[in-house]
């Protein structure tokens, strides 16, 4: 691996990981009052006065661009202070930046400064120039960027583990699944809890096949690009975090399957696909830039002997259920006759929500058939903890598991590692984990542009004061998003918000008090930025906990800042493969 492509997690030994965990928990414990605070309580809880008295004069008159440059941007080397900052404030900022995993893709450093979108979207804001057009339909630019980069990484892992099978968990509409299958020639099983999304994924598969067939007939020639092994298999099912890996494997094998064959795709000309679509090569994406991250087996594995390639006899019949070629039919017959073993596979989850990412890591460790994993986490606030085993938004199983299906019921999404579980002050509140999901780069951009969107925090905090004046028992009521709130005068915003919590919309508001609170908008933004500075630190602790968990179970891992953070805020991918036996 070249030096500029070296991954941050690779540079930390097991001892360094543990030392970093100690520093993170100590630092976050010291500033828990910031990470646990709710900005909507800025006025009701006098949050400004909770800051050290020496910080307040230095921060109170900062402009929005100064907040971005002096607080949030770790790469800014030209800091010009309007006043002398206390050493404790400088130390707070420096420590927060030093402890957080770097979020910039190292192979993208030095590119256009201030460019929000990756270079692949410079010519067309909605179409990636590096992704084949057949994989861009129905796919937003952010997702195009993600599936292209993650797909290539999954393919590398498959090559290193001699696995051609991938299980995509939380597959949604199947955008990554299609790229892995039709674009990279992998055999993919996708599992998604939302049956509507599963049906959409199946329909989009059919549309892709129909488009390829139409293009082939139009050109009257065959493509020279390699063909996929089969169409992906879609399974409708919810992956229960408490279920054992055996129950997970059974779910993959017996779950409700969709698109058992692409012979009935959505779109016109369904008949033309029958019997012909499987005998042509499938278009893949164009060649990729040499600046893509490159995972070498020597960086992740502790021994050198490869596992033998899986034979056709070991492939699942479901991998070829949509294929009508004789060899595929023969595999189906062998499967029906009970001659098929369980093949190895690679697990992947693109922004697997809450405990799902932790569950996949446990299955990776415990299940002998999982050879590698790429995990992109999301929604840290939905992670279960000992202190908060049922956070808001947690999905409960529709039917209880039998004792033989359950894993250890006391396992939570955080902490996973024994080391961090034993550290004092390791606890992360719901609010701290929710803050870790915020997009720091996006907020920096708003600050530099002095966006009117910044006033919404102040609006909501002001509304909280008037709500509590009338209903002291009504705290942190859910207002939800008010469309274009930043363009409304506060009185109109308040009228809409009060109605949503069951209070009279025409509740009288003291004009002088409204004006006095509005004048503190800058302080609200400063306080929110201080809390936001801790967001990458909290995320680092959650991800480091997972790396240490893998290390405790004999598996080294790497943390890759794979996506452009301006484009995809949850841009870290945890990559691991098991040592070869």
Write out pLDDT tens, residues 41-75: 999 999 999 999 999 999 999 999 999 999 999 88
475, two tokens: 């705290």
CA–CA gap between residue 10 and residue 17 (Å, rounded): 10
Q: Report how far apart the first and last C-alpha atoms of the chain are (Å, whole number).
A: 24
Eight-class DSSP state of 406 = B
**Helical segments of 304-354, H only:** 326-336
Counting beta carbons within 10 angstroms of the beta carbon of residue 32, is it exposed (0 to 12), middle (13 to 18) or buried (19 or more)? middle
Laid out side by side, the sheet with 165-169 consists of: 256-258, 233-236, 187-192, 165-169, 345-353, 370-378, 572-577, 557-561
For residue 192, say if its preceding peptide bond is cis, omega within 30 degrees of 0.
Answer: no
Give the per-residue pLDDT at 411.
84
The DSSP-derived string for 504-515 is -TT----HHHHH
Residues 497, 482 contacting (CB under 8 angstroms): yes
Contacts of 454 (CB under 8 A, 6+ apart): 64, 446, 447, 486, 521, 525
Give the per-residue pLDDT at 220.
65
Per the document, the length of the chain is 581
CA–CA gap between residue 525 and residue 124 (Å, rounded): 34
CA–CA gap between residue 428 and residue 433 (Å, rounded): 7
CA–CA gap between residue 227 and residue 539 (Å, rounded): 39
Compute CA 173 distance to the chain's CA centroid, rounded to the nearest angstrom. 16
CA geometry: angle at 555 spanning 553 and 558, to 5°? Answer: 130
Q: What φ, ψ does residue 189 adopt, rounded to 5°? A: -110, 125
Residues 567, 116 contacting (CB under 8 angstroms): yes
CA–CA gap between residue 505 and residue 18 (Å, rounded): 54
The DSSP-derived string for 219-274 is HTS---SPPPSSPPEEEE----TTB-HHHHHHHHHHSEEE-S-TTS-SSS-HHHHT
CA–CA gap between residue 185 and residue 84 (Å, rounded): 59
- pTM of the predicted structure, to 2 decimals: 0.81
Q: Which residues of 293-331 are buried (b: 16+ CB within 10 A; e: fewer)?
A: bebebebbbeeeeeeeebeeeebbbbbbbbbeeeebeeb
Structure confidence by residue, pLDDT tens digits, 218-240: 776 554 444 444 689 999 999 99
CA–CA gap between residue 358 and residue 503 (Å, rounded): 41
Give the per-residue pLDDT at 5.
36
The DSSP-derived string for 77-139 is -----SSPPPHHHHHHHHHHHHHSPP-S-GGGTTS-TT--S-GGGSS-TTS-TTS-GGGTTT-
Q: Which residues pair with 187 in a beta bridge?
A: 165
Among all chains, which residue has been given the structure tokens 């910031």? 34
Please compute, for residue 167, the number of CA atoms within 13 A of its CA located in the half-sphere on the CB side: 26
Give the per-residue pLDDT at 315.
32
Eight-class DSSP state of 482 = P
- Can you give the pLDDT of all 581 residues of the chain as single tens digits? 333 333 334 468 999 999 999 999 999 999 999 999 999 999 999 999 999 999 999 999 999 999 999 999 988 878 899 999 999 999 999 999 999 999 886 545 444 444 566 667 666 656 665 566 667 677 788 888 888 899 999 999 999 999 999 999 999 998 899 999 988 999 999 999 999 999 999 999 888 888 888 877 777 655 444 444 468 999 999 999 989 999 999 999 876 544 443 333 333 333 333 333 333 333 333 333 434 455 544 445 443 333 333 333 333 323 322 322 333 333 333 333 332 346 899 999 999 999 999 999 999 999 999 999 999 999 999 999 999 998 887 777 666 666 666 665 568 999 999 999 999 999 999 999 999 999 999 999 999 999 999 999 999 999 999 999 999 999 998 888 899 999 999 999 999 999 999 999 989 999 999 999 999 999 999 999 999 999 999 999 999 999 999 999 999 999 999 988 988 899 999 999 998 76
Cα maximum dimension of the chain: 82
């Amino acid at each position: 691996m070249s030096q500029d492509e070296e991954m941050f997690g690779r540079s930390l030994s097991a001892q360094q990981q543990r030392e970093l965990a100690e520093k993170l928990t100590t630092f976050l414990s010291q500033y828990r009052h910031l990470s646990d605070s709710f900005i909507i309580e800025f006025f009701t809880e006098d949050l400004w006065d909770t800051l050290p008295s020496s910080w307040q004069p230095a921060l109170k008159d900062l402009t929005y661009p100064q907040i971005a440059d002096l607080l949030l941007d770790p790469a800014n080397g030209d800091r010009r202070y309007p006043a002398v900052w206390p050493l404790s404030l400088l130390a707070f900022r420096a420590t927060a930046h030093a402890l957080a995993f770097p979020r910039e893709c190292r192979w993208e450093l030095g590119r256009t400064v201030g460019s929000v979108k990756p270079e692949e979207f410079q010519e067309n804001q909605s179409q990636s120039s590096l992704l084949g057009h057949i994989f861009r339909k129905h796919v937003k630019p952010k997702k195009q960027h993600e599936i292209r980069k993650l797909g290539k990484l999954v393919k590398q892992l498959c090559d290193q583990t001699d696995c051609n099978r991938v299980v995509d968990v939380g597959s949604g509409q199947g955008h990554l699944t299609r790229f892995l299958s039709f674009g990279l020639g992998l055999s993919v099983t996708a599992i998604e809890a939302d049956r509507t999304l599963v049906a959409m994924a199946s329909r989009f598969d059919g549309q892709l096949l129909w488009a390829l067939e139409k293009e082939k007939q139009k050109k009257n020639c065959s493509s020279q690009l390699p063909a996929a092994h089969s169409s992906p298999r879609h399974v409708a099912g919810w992956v229960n975090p408490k279920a054992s890996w055996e129950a997970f494997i059974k779910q993959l094998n017996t779950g409700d399957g969709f698109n058992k064959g692409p012979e009935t795709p959505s779109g016109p000309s369904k008949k033309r696909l029958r019997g012909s679509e499987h005998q042509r090569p499938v278009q893949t994406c164009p060649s990729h830039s040499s600046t893509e991250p490159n995972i070498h087996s020597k960086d992740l594995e502790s021994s050198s002997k490869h596992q033998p390639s899986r034979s056709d006899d070991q492939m699942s019949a479901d991998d070829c259920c949509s294929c009508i070629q004789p060899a595929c039919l023969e595999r189906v017959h062998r499967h029906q006759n009970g001659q098929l073993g369980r093949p190895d596979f690679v697990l992947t989850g693109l922004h697997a929500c809450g405990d799902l990412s932790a569950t996949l890591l446990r299955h990776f460790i415990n299940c002998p058939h999982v050879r590698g994993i790429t995990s992109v986490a999301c929604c840290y606030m939905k992670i279960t903890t000992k202190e908060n085993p049922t956070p808001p938004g947690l999905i409960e199983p529709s039917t209880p598991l039998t004792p033989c299906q359950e894993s250890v019921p006391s396992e939570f999404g955080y902490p996973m590692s024994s080391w961090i579980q034993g550290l004092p002050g390791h606890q992360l509140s719901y609010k701290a984990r929710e803050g870790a999901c915020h997009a720091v780069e996006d907020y920096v951009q708003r600050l530099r542009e002095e966006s009117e969107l910044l006033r919404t925090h102040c609006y909501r905090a002001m509304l909280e004061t008037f709500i509590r004046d009338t209903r002291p028992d009504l705290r942190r009521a859910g207002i939800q998003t008010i469309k274009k709130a930043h363009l409304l005068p506060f009185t109109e915003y308040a009228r809409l918000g009060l109605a949503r919590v069951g209070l009279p919309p025409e509740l009288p508001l003291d004009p002088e008090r409204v004006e006095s609170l509005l004048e503190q908008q800058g302080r609200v933004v400063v306080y929110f930025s201080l809390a936001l500075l801790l967001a990458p630190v909290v995320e680092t602790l959650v991800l480091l906990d997972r790396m240490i968990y893998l290390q405790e179970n004999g598996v080294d891992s790497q943390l890759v800042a794979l996506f452009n953070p301006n484009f995809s805020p949850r841009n870290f991918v945890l990559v691991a493969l098991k040592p070869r036996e």
